[in-house]
Amino acid sequence: MLFPQETYVQRRNALRELVGNGLILLLGNNDSPMNYPANAYKFRQDSSFLYFTGQHRDGLALVIDCESGAETLVGDEIDIDDIVWYGSVTSVAEMAKETGIAHVRPTAWLSELCSHAKAQGRTVHFLPPYRSDHKIQLMDLLALHPSQQKEAASLPLIHAVVKLRSIKTAEEIAELERASHIGYLMHTAAMRLAVQPGITEAYIGGQLDGIAASHGSTTSFQSIISMHGEILHGYPSQRPIEAGRLLLCDAGAETVEHYCSDHTRTTPISGRFTTRQREIYDIVVDCHDLALTHAKPGVKYMDVHLDVCRLMTERLKALGLMKGDTEEAVQHGAHALFLPHGLGHMMGMDVHDMEGLGQIHVGFDEETRPRLDQFGTNALRFGRRLEVGHVVTDEPGIYFIPDLIDLWRREGTNAAFLNFDKIDEYRDFGGIRIEDDVLITPDGCRFLGDERIPYHADDVEAYIAG
């Protein structure tokens, strides 16, 4: 358990008050087999369950009765076979005591609880499940087919969890800083490897996995490492890296307690940017730095995103890649040919924090509904007004995606704002993204991590030369 008991007690009290009535059922994760039951993927606790209990064991659930206030940790004790193979673990009763939960029940009790709740007409609040075993369990408990469960998940519970988990406390920020530090070690290592033409993308990926693992950590998602940075989630291949190209590396660490980091750097494999690469790179740097001056409490992140789109459009116009009125171009989503995603997402115990609860509930509210009918804008993950304690990523990019360029040219999409002949000259360019994690503070914001992974072009060249 990471934090003092009081932290978890307060979180559960706040959750109960926000939800207000009925039963809250939070399912912890189960072991997930890779190819046979005893050969499982590394166990990963569900983040919301962990947030409210601090407990890492598989096969647990938390029940909170909003009316009586009773809290129950549900789980079966391990048997002698488990002890022989994996050693002894803390009992469910001890875990409950540690986190300040008064009652303990075996898993079979959940059926009884749910039947009783149904008979009494009480609501059982649950979060949208993302694992198949939980979907089956909820089908058994609540007689809801998996296809109905996302719809039937409790909005009051989703909103309550989002409200609480969105604001990172000082003790959580310390853990996020730890993740950032491991991210710094990963990315500076990757930058040094990126200037060794001949080694493979996969080799660099393996080194990053190793750095994370040697801190007892994992990567916070499968690392994205590619000379084809224009593939937004391009996973490392066995291709040797080639001088002259750019290598995009988007990777993060997740601490033992599952707090994440998420950084992206794009490094010239030759050690120096060409003039053409640097022209585009510097635009991304300036877009990246814009968030530092614009993001502050009360500002909509949607507006910071749109300011980045305007700046990018202005600068691409200066290079002859775009044309026309900047405001109109952004209104029409013309910039999305180059930036088909949003400026960032929330980050915390999930690298895309709480995305499983539904992006619309996490990233938006009544005043910041994303335009779902427009390419690019429909991929925004976070637009809400920023609050002190929010942690969001700042990750602008410019990508030259040949298939997308060809499609837009063929269909005449945003032709009034795009110089397709000029853009065609960049079709083998690849893509650039720069990403850091931003904490919103009372005065504005700051990047997480006390050591900055170099990203200004001169700093990058100096770092890899050294």
CA distances from 266 to 70, 250, 386 (A): 51, 8, 28
Site string for ligand GLY, 261-290 (x = CB under 6 A): -x----------------------------
> What sign has the CA pseudo-torsion 312, 314, 316, 319?
negative
- Told to check if 254 binds ligand GLY by CB under 6 A, we report no
Task: Please choose, out of 227-235, 258-266, 327-335, 403-411, the segment that lies near Mn ion by the rule CB under 5 A.
Answer: 258-266
Burial class for 255, CB neighbours closer than 10 Å (0-12, 13-18, 19+): buried
Q: Which C-beta is closer to ligand GLY: that of 194 or that of 225?
A: 225
Q: Is 321 in contact with 418 (CB distance < 8 Å)?
A: yes
- Told to check if 393 binds Mn ion by CB under 5 A, we report yes
Q: Is 231 in contact with 189 (CB distance < 8 Å)?
A: no
Q: How many C-beta atoms lie closer than 10 Å to residue 356's C-beta?
A: 18
Q: Which C-beta is closer to ligand GLY: that of 344 or that of 454?
A: 344
- Told to check if 180 binds Mn ion by CB under 5 A, we report no
Site string for ligand GLY, 179-218 (x = CB under 6 A): ----------------------------------------
- Told to check if 45 binds Mn ion by CB under 5 A, we report no
- Told to check if 353 binds ligand GLY by CB under 6 A, we report no
For 71-92, give one letter per residue: b (16+ CB within 10 A) or e: bbbbbeebeeeeeeeeeeeeeb
Shortest Cβ 219–Mn ion spacing (Å): 13
Shortest Cβ 137–Mn ion spacing (Å): 31
- Choosing from 71, 250, 394, 436, the residue that interacts with ligand GLY (CB under 6 A) is 250
Shortest Cβ 395–Mn ion spacing (Å): 5
Residues composing the chain: 466
Shortest Cβ 194–ligand GLY spacing (Å): 17
- Specify which residues 73 forms β-bridges with: 62, 104
- Choosing from 262, 353, 394, 436, the residue that interacts with Mn ion (CB under 5 A) is 262
Q: Which C-beta is closer to ligand GLY: that of 19 or that of 249?
A: 249
Shortest Cβ 257–ligand GLY spacing (Å): 20
Of the candidates 441, 398, 458, the one whose C-alpha atom is nearest the C-alpha of residue 264 is 398
Residue labelled with tokens 């939960």: 101
Q: Which C-beta is closer to ligand GLY: that of 221 or that of 420?
A: 221
Shortest Cβ 286–ligand GLY spacing (Å): 21
d(CA 17, CA 175): 27
Q: Which C-beta is closer to Mn ion: that of 279 or that of 355?
A: 355
Partner from ligand GLY, Mn ion, none contacting 420, C-beta within 5 to 8 A by type: none
Q: Which residues neighbour 55 within 8 Å (Cβ) at sequence distance 6 or greater?
A: 1, 28, 45, 49, 73, 95, 98, 99
Task: Please choose, out of 153-161, 280-288, 393-401, 441-449, the segment that lies near Mn ion by the rule CB under 5 A.
Answer: 393-401
Helix ranges (DSSP H) in 319-387: 326-331, 359-363
Tokens of 201: 């993308």
The residues that touch Mn ion, with contacts defined as CB under 5 A, are 262, 393
The residues that touch ligand GLY, with contacts defined as CB under 6 A, are 221, 250, 262, 345
